[in-house]
Amino acid sequence: AYEYLMRHFATESGKSKGQFYTPSEVSRILAQVIGIREAETTSNTTVYDPTCGSGSLLLKVSDEAKAKVTLYGQEMDSATAGLAHMNMILHDNSTALIKQGNTIANPLFKTQSGELKTFDYVVANPPFSDKRWSTGIDPYNDEYERFTHFGVPPSKQGDYAYLLHIIRSLKSTGKGACILPHGVLFRGGAEAEIRKNLIRQGYIKGIIGLPANLFYGTGIPACVIVIDKEYAGSRKGIFMADASKDFIKDGNKNRLRAQDIRKIVDVFNNRLELDKYARMVSFDEIEHKNEFNLNLPRYIDTQEAEDIQDIEAHLLGGIPESDVDALQRYWDVCPNLKDGLFEPKREGYIELAVEKEQIKTSVFEHEQFRAFTTSLQVLYYEWEERSKTYLKSMESGCHPKETLKGLSDDLLTHYVYAALIDKYDIYQHFMDYWEETMQDDCYLIAADGWQAETYRVLVTDKKGKEKDKGWACDLVPKSYIVDRYFSDEQEAIDVLNSELEINTGELSELEEEHSAEEGILKDVGSKKEAQEAWYEALISLWQEEDKENYSKYTDALEKQKAEIQRLNALVEDPVLAVLANSKGTITQKVLTAQLKVAEGDASARLNSYKDASNLLKAAKEEAKELLKAREEQIGTRLSDTPDEEALFELKVIKAYLDLLEVIGELKGKIKVAELELD
């Protein structure tokens, strides 16, 4: 969670605040290429970061070690050093030593004799091309002899100052890795001399080229320089890997995927030579052919083959055989497919033997292609069955990270010889599933074992009332139980949801079609508004078609209005006012009771109120009956002659109301069914 917040802060803050955070993907690479995972570490093993920022890089190295190691870090910015302190405490490394100060001018980790303290491992992501690196020191008379035998870096580019500080801070068997801009590999002048001396000393074990725009605060490409003092004297070359093409876009930055990280680490640690990606380069080639220039494109060509245009094919038609031969790895898997898709045209050229529209079908239905896809399914199921046994052996107290490593290592080994399949693509699918779902389950099992504890989901609505949304289970989701034991009930709910979706779609279409400026449903957004629009349209048509009955209806409404006014006037009488309820009316029950005891003038007033009430009731009944009769007539006409032009507006509104009613009924049925299923 802390790392997530730091990443988010670095993303939002831009160049000014990106300095304190190294992307976790890059940190993982550094942690895994320095060899600490394979080492027999103890609490006496030391790890140092001279520009530690918030400490994330140190923590990644610590995570790779088999046992707890001792962490040291120095950071120039006091606020960022405070972040590092907090980060260490939150990640159970409270004994880590974090100091604040300028590492180059005032290194704070020293021996009793005042020399630089040396460490087993050093990692760093220093500020790129620091223009103020020499402030506070005389680099030509450096008391720590960091530049002796190598040379002094340029005054305005401090990249090598930090690298030489790292080398001086390593024990004789120490190992380190440093992130630096690509320029350090090929810039001339003083840096060229330093580079030559470093190569001749044999300290550089390897170089890993990274994609551009990975880091917060800069978009320039960077590289990882891996240092190993232990075997410097016997080193014959430098292992180089160019991973600059492998990444995905993530907002305005590039980001390494799990498969990119794994490929870099596998290739580097196992010295695997891959075309257009990695190879071991001898010191002889570096010195005599390239004059100590380490620019990766000189040694690894990552450019895609140029698409050469065949003029004859453009003019005379046909497909060059060389283009089809370039797909040989596919023909190796399906040898007869090529003959099924192509036929000779003239020497050196072929043409399609099937229609363009049939290419996909011809491939998918080919016997050899079907056999190939079946073999891939069998390959996967073999790994799945083996993994099931492994996963079922998990129990409380297990280590999910070890589970992940075991499964992913086995997966990569399992797919190593699979034709046409990049094992790292398969690995990415697995890692995506791990991130989204599997790791949560593994950590639950590690904490509590195979305990599927259920709990009620309670939410608070806007009014502050708590509502029960049913039960849930983290380890075994409700959907699994439903699929296994209540599929029929769920199918019934799915049918209702499907009907709801269809009707909701029809309602949306109706609204979209008739909600324009002059549309019938322009001011309709609820059932109440639709009913008002219905009666408005109905009465308008009634006035045009049946003036006699419409006149009776309006007369009845006028009678209602007159009697309401009369009742309101009567109830203002003090004698009657005391009998009125909160709505300002006298109920029939109260009126009947008072008439039994009233005399004289009071009785006359009560009878006047009673007469007005009866007349109002009669007028309401008359208007109601007339409107009901008219609605029935319209309903009959909508059934018998739905395309009648005069009924168009009413037809649309009725369709809208009918859909609202159906949708309401479906929602009610779904709610009841889901409650019963829960």
pLDDT in tens, 122-151: 999 999 999 999 999 999 999 999 999 999
Mean pLDDT computed over every residue of the chain: 92
- At 10 the pLDDT is 55
Query: Does the structure show a pLDDT above 70 at 348?
Result: yes
Asked if residue 162 lies in contact with residue 50, where contact means CB atoms within 8 angstroms, the answer is yes
Q: 420 lies in a domain? A: yes
Whether 183 shows a pLDDT value over 70: the answer reads yes
Instruction: Clarify whether residues 527 and 657 are in a common domain.
Output: yes
Q: Is residue 453 part of a domain?
A: no
**20 and 6 Cβ atoms separated by less than 8 Å:** yes
Tell me how far apart the alpha carbons of residues 230 and 234 are, in angstroms, rounded to a whole number: 9
Residue 676, H or E segment? helix 648-677
Is residue 573's pLDDT more than 90? no
Q: Which of 278, 298, 318 is the last residue of a domain?
A: 298
SS (H, E, C) 618-657: HHHHHHHHHHHHHHHHHHHHHHHCCCCHHHHHHHHHHHHH
380 falls within a domain: yes
The β-bridge partners of 226 are: 177, 206
Top pLDDT among 249 and 10 is at: 249
Q: Are 647 and 639 in contact (CB under 8 A)?
A: no
At 666, the amino acid letter reads L
- Where is the domain boundary, 448, 471, 486? 448
The answer to whether 37 and 66 are in contact (CB under 8 A) is: yes
Distance CA 96, CA 78 (A): 16
Same domain? For 572 and 437 the reply is no
Global pTM exceeds 0.95: no
Structure tokens at 95: 């004994």
Q: Say what the pLDDT of residue 181 is.
A: 95
294, 399: one domain: no
Q: Looking at the structure, tell me whether residues 129 and 44 fall in a common domain.
A: yes
pLDDT band at residue 340 under the 50/70/90 scheme:
very high
Q: What is the mean pLDDT of residues 639-663?
A: 90
Is the residue at 676 inside a domain?
Answer: no
The residue among 235, 266, 298 that closes a domain is 298
Segment 430-439, tens digit of pLDDT: 999 999 999 9
Q: Which residues contact 57 (CB under 8 A, 6 or more apart)?
A: 22, 27, 30, 31, 49, 123, 124, 125
**140 and 245 fall within a common domain:** yes
Report the C-alpha gap between 596 and 610 in whole angstroms.
13
Alpha helices in 34-144 (DSSP H): 56-64, 78-90
Are 294 and 393 contained in the same domain?
Answer: no
| Mean pLDDT in residue range 553-582 | 87
**In a shared domain, residues 162 and 235:** yes
How far apart, in whole angstroms, are the C-alpha atoms of residue 447 and residue 396?
Answer: 6
Closest CA to 531 of 435, 661, 438, 638: 661
Number of domains making up the chain: 3
Place of tokens 């090598």: 160
The two tokens of residue 404 are 């992940």
Q: Read off the pLDDT of each residue in 229-247 and give the average, rounded to a whole number.
A: 95
Distance separating alpha carbons of residues 507 and 81, to the nearest angstrom: 59
Pairing of β 170-181 and β 222-228: antiparallel
Same domain, yes or no, for 276 and 176? yes
d(CA 396, CA 479) in angstroms, rounded, equals 24
Angle between helices 258-270 and 423-433 (to 10 degrees): 130
Q: Which of 555, 171, 194, 170 is closest to 180 using CA atoms?
A: 194
Nearest to 174 by CA among 40, 20, 45: 45
Phi/psi zone of residue 217: left (φ > 0), alpha (ψ -120 to 50 degrees), beta? left
Residue 352 lies inside a defined structural domain of this protein = no
pLDDT in tens, 45-96: 999 999 999 899 999 999 999 999 999 999 999 988 998 999 999 999 999 9
Q: Which of 200, 197, 219 is nearest to 210 (CA)?
A: 219
Quick one: tokens of 101?
């100060």
59 with 178, same domain: the answer is: yes
Q: In this structure, are residues 267 and 278 in contact, taking their beta carbons and an 8 Å threshold?
A: yes
114 and 232 share one domain: yes
Q: How far apart are the first and last CA of the chain?
A: 33
Residue span of the structural domain in which 424 resides: 369-448
Distance between CA atoms of residues 223 and 238, nearest Å: 14
Alpha helix (H) residue ranges in 72-179:
78-90, 159-168
Give, as one character, the DSSP assignment of residue 127. P
Q: Where are the beta strands (DSSP E) in 496-632?
A: none
Q: Residue 16: what pLDDT?
A: 44
Q: Are residues 420 and 529 in the same domain?
A: no
Lowest mean pLDDT segment, chosen from 156-160, 553-557, 587-591, 595-599: 595-599
Amino acid symbol at 97: L
- Strand ranges of the sheet holding 237-242, from the earlier edge strand across to the other edge: 97-100, 70-75, 46-49, 119-124, 170-181, 222-228, 204-209, 237-242, 278-282
Residues 139 and 285 grouped into a single domain: yes
Sign of the CA dihedral running 503, 504, 509, 514? positive
Tell me the backbone φ, ψ of residue 379, rounded to 5 degrees. Answer: -60, -45
Q: Strands 466-473 and 454-460, how do they pair? A: antiparallel
Residue 190's CATH number: 3.40.50.150
Name the 3-class secondary structure at 313: helix
Asked if residue 122 is part of any domain, the answer here is yes
Domain membership of residue 348 (yes or no) is no
Residue 217: pLDDT above 80?
no
Residue 306 is predicted with a pLDDT of 80
